[in-house]
Structure 1
Amino acid sequence: MSKAMVVAGVMSGTSADGVDVALCRIAPGAGDAPLRVKLIGHAAFGYPKALRAAVLAAMDARAMSVADMSRLNWRLGEVYADAVEAAAKQFGVKLGLVGCHGQTVYHQGAASRFLGSEVRCTWQIGEASVIAERLRVPVVSDFRPADLAASGQGAPLVPMLDYVMFRSATVSRVLQNLGGIANLTAIPAGASEESVMAFDTGPANMVIDGCMVRLFGRGYDRGGAVARRGRVIDAVVERVLRQKYFSALPPKSCGREEFGDTFVERFLAMCRKAGATDADVVATATTLTARSIVEAYERFVWGHLGQTAPLATRIEYVVAGGGAKNETLMQMLRDGLEPLGVKVRLMEELGIPAQAKEGVGFALLAWLSWFGLPGNIPSATGAKRAVVLGKVTRG
């Protein structure tokens, strides 16, 4: 059987704003390129307002019954099937496989005591059986648990794509994704897989969006316009950046458990106490994202690149995700990173639309899983070994 295959990668991130479908042609490569991944097309589908509200409620277990959680799991399966079906029709392709990440409702990468034992856990919903039955193709889903079972954080998983597609013999690259959470992959020039560093730097859009919803009744700050007219409350940013997460050594991961609704309410209270206007709050949240990324680069990444590749090597900082459309945030990143000798670029410049990247990543992971190949990078997740990710539901 040929290993070349058209795969749909389906991603709905921590911002819970909708579904991205990336259609890819994936095949074995040759020589230094062990795999060939080509993006055929990308389509985005927003969640209906009521569905998004239900998804956000599911991220707070106190607000949803077990029955409604089960119903939401199945409803999301229908939504994902609709999205993949529409994308395949739009681009005129015949699918061989679907890789569906699902919607994360809880993720705890670090172990904590529960019922007498140390437990790590993660939960992504969106019933794969619905997708497989509707599309009559196999579906690989639930990618994170295998890495957790191998003592990893279960995140980040996109570094495998970063390594396969973007490593270079002459350029060190940092691939930064700005979804709800900000995560990066650092690939030194000429890197082996063992030299890849990856971790979540903290919030990207999550806190900004949370403030926008509460203060302006809008889901996000389009183009960073609100932040641009606000005043940054530096004391609040400094106080937040003293939280233990930001200084903890990689590998590490975070989510709504650290930077969701509870954090946003506390952040708003700090800003109000400092006399912030509504626009000031959003400017301060945007600065928090930018500063946490720049400080993570200075604290953890810069030295890693210097140890594993010549410091004279050119360093590119490539940004993807919805936050790349926030012009104020992007300017803050340039202002913080470029004085360090880093060239900031957009993912589109490397041939992948910013919003499509994570979908492409889960298409690749699905292909690897289907052929029994590992999909995690232990140096990124902290797992004790490389493992095959995901569970297969046959269509």
Structure 2
Amino acid sequence: MKPKKMIVAGIMSGTSADGMDVALCSIGPSAAGKPRVKLIGASEFPYPQAVRQIVLAAMDAKSMPVADLSRLHWRLGELYAEAVQNTARLYGTRVDLVGSHGQTIYHQGVASKYLGSETRCTWQIGEASVIAEKLSIPVVSDFRPADLAAGGQGAPLVPMLDYVLFRSEKISRVLQNLGGIANMTAIPAGATTDDVLAFDSGPSNMVIDACMARLFNKPFDRNGAVARRGIVYPKVLERFLADPYFSTLPPKSCGREDFGEAFVERFISVSRRLKARDEDIVATATALTARSILDAYQKFVWSHLGQKAPLARHVEYVVGGGGVRNPSLMAMLRDGLEPLGVKVRSTDEFGIPTQAKEAVAFALLAWLTWHGLSGNVPSATGAARSVILGRITRA
């Protein structure tokens, strides 16, 4: 199918499980060969509290009735359809195609023995047939399995958008997403897609939010105020930075299976044994996010960029995601990066609201899938080859 210009709605609900981000994009071919992506508008929709509680339970549960999982799968499809409908109405535009990431409730990018075979798997829920039926337009969903089947981790998938929007001939850029999980994409100056390095560095808001929920009965640390009152406990920090995930070489991906309820329980328990106050625990959790990102940059990214950008002044660190709204976290990142000569910027400066970038990414991936074009970046996911992502559900 010859690529054509379309209005595509991308829907993203991440590991923070706080709600849905919808991005309406005009996407079409360009003379340069890369798709041209223009954001029309974006909206955020929080999950109803009861829905969020069930989503979190599904993500961390060792067991949950199959009936509840099935009902949640269909209910999320309804919520996604409503979110797209409301956003299209708000911006007064039609929608030709929907790209729905779905809600990840389990992701295992590294194989382990199961029923006599080495198995990797991923599962995103939110019934695409419901979305297609309610909106009367086709939906692309289930983006991750094709990459996983081709030997990749099934994540991260945002690097395709990072490459399309942020690649530069003269400037090396690192795209840092601060969602529930922190993931980074390193694009050397003048890079091809084969030069892109991307991976999950560890938790971003996930551990901070869980500490806030357990210690302060609040969903997140608004404006980083609690962390600002606290003291970072170095012994706790070093103990948890010793987790094997942080030293594992990319490609790698993680989720609540790695940094969910069990991890947070240990984190709080160890902190309390050292007499940390509640605000100290939140401050240390914030420092864990910042340090794991900074360590990953120095261990894995800088040498990669150094192949084509030996001078730090040619590196821009472009940050997006909900964590941008946490001044305490952002201050820690700037304190670690700016002495290296790295310029910290926001995706807002490039016309992409910080919260909307991942939704824009899945709009782009849906457009690529609709036109039979590959959407993964094998150098980022570890896949053996480029593949067409997702499945199409027609209205």
Q: TM-score, normalised by structure 2?
A: 0.98
> What residue is the counterpart of 1:371 in the other structure?
371
Alpha-carbon separation, structure 1, partners of 2:223 and 2:82: 29
Secondary structure of the 2:95 match is coil
What CA deviation, in whole Å up to 9, does each residue of 1:13-42 have, x standing for no partner?
A: 0000000000000000112x5210000000
Partner-residue secondary structure (3-state), 1:288:
helix
- Answer yes or no: is 1:311 the counterpart of 2:326: no
8 Å contact from structure 1 (residues 190, 309) kept in 2: no
* Alignment partner of 1:191 is 2:195: no
Equivalent residue number for residue 300 of structure 1 = 300
* Distance across 2 between alignment mates of 1:219 and 1:282: 12
Give the equivalent residue in structure 1 for 2:26: 25
CA distance in 2, matches of 1:312, 1:183: 21
Question: Which residue number corresponds to residue 394 of structure 1?
Answer: 394
Report if aligned partners of 1:147, 1:154 keep a CA contact under 8 Å in 2.
yes
Residue 230 in structure 1 maps to residue 230 in structure 2: yes
The equivalent of 1:132 in structure 2 is 132
Cα deviations by residue, 1:269-303 (Å, 9 ceiling, x for unpaired):
01101110000000000000000000000000000
- Distance in 1 between the 2:214 and 2:61 partners? 21
Q: Could you say what secondary structure the match of 1:88 adopts?
A: helix
1:355 deviates by: 0.3
1:208 matched residue in structure 2: 208
Q: What corresponds to 1:178 in structure 2?
A: 178
Aligned partner of 1:256 in structure 2 is 256
Find the residue that maps to 2:27 and give its secondary structure. strand
Question: How far off its partner does 1:147 sit?
Answer: 0.2
* Counterpart residue type for residue 386 of structure 2: A
Q: Partners of 2:241 and 2:16 in 1: how far apart?
A: 21
Q: CA deviation at 1:61?
A: 3.6
Per the TM alignment, residue 243 of structure 1 is displaced from its structure 2 partner at its CA by 1.1
Code of the aligned partner of 1:308: K
Cα deviation code 1:68-109 (max 9, x no counterpart):
000000000000000000000000111100000000000000
Q: Quote the Cα distance in structure 2 between the aligned partners of 1:287 and 1:62.
A: 29
Structure-2 separation of matches of 1:63 and 1:221: 30
Secondary structure (helix, strand or coil) at the match of 1:134 reads helix
Question: Partner of 1:144 in structure 2?
Answer: 144
Q: Give matches, 1:283-294, under 5 Å.
A: 283-294=283-294
2:40, 2:316 → 1: CA distance? 25
Any gaps of 5 or more consecutive residues in structure 2?
A: none
CA distance in 2, matches of 1:63, 1:47: 22
The answer for the alignment partner of 1:103 in structure 2 is 103
Instruction: Give the structure 2 partner of residue 243 of structure 1.
Output: 243
Deviation for aligned residue 1:128: 0.2
> What's the counterpart of residue 112 of structure 1?
112
Alignment partners' CA distance in 1, 2:34 and 2:310 = 25
- Is 1:9 the counterpart of 2:10 in the alignment? yes
Deviations 1:203-234 (A, max 9, x none): 00000000000000000000100000101001
Distance in structure 1 (CA, Å) of the matches to 2:62 and 2:230: 34
Deviation at 1:361, TM superposition (A): 0.1
Distance apart, 1:60 and its partner CA = 2.6
State the Cα distance separating 1:44 from its structure 2 match: 0.4
Q: Which amino acid aligns with 1:46?
A: P
Shift of 1:346: 1.0
Q: Which amino acid aligns with 2:31?
A: A
* Deviation, structure 1 residue 311: 3.0
Distance apart, 1:309 and its partner CA? 3.3
Contact 2:105 2:123 in 1 (8 A): yes
CA contact (8 A) 1:251 1:381 kept: yes
Q: Percent identity?
A: 69
239 and 97 in structure 1: CA distance in 2 versus 1, 3 angstrom threshold: same
Residue 341 in structure 1 maps to residue 362 in structure 2: no
* Distance (whole Å) between structure 2 residues aligned to residue 58 and residue 128 of structure 1: 19
Q: CA deviation at 1:306?
A: 0.4
**Maintained 8 Å contact 1:227/1:286:** yes
Q: Which amino acid aligns with 1:296?
A: A
TM-score (structure 1 length as normaliser): 0.98
Aligned length: 394
How far is the alpha carbon of 1:374 from its aligned partner? 0.4
Contact 1:161 1:361 in 2 (8 A): yes
Distance 1:197 1:341 in 2: 21
CA contact (8 A) 2:155 2:253 kept: yes
- Find the counterpart in structure 2 of residue 89 from structure 1: 89
Distance 2:205 2:61 in 1: 22
- The two structures, once aligned, show a CA RMSD in angstroms of 0.9
Q: 1:331 maps to which residue?
A: 331
Structure 1: gaps spanning 5 or more residues: none
Measured in 2, the distance between the counterparts of 1:312 and 1:116 equals: 49
- One-letter amino acid of the structure 1 residue matched with residue 272 of structure 2: R
Q: 1:310 Cα shift?
A: 3.9
The aligned amino acid for 1:393 is T
- CA distance in 1 between partners of 2:276 and 2:31 (Å): 57
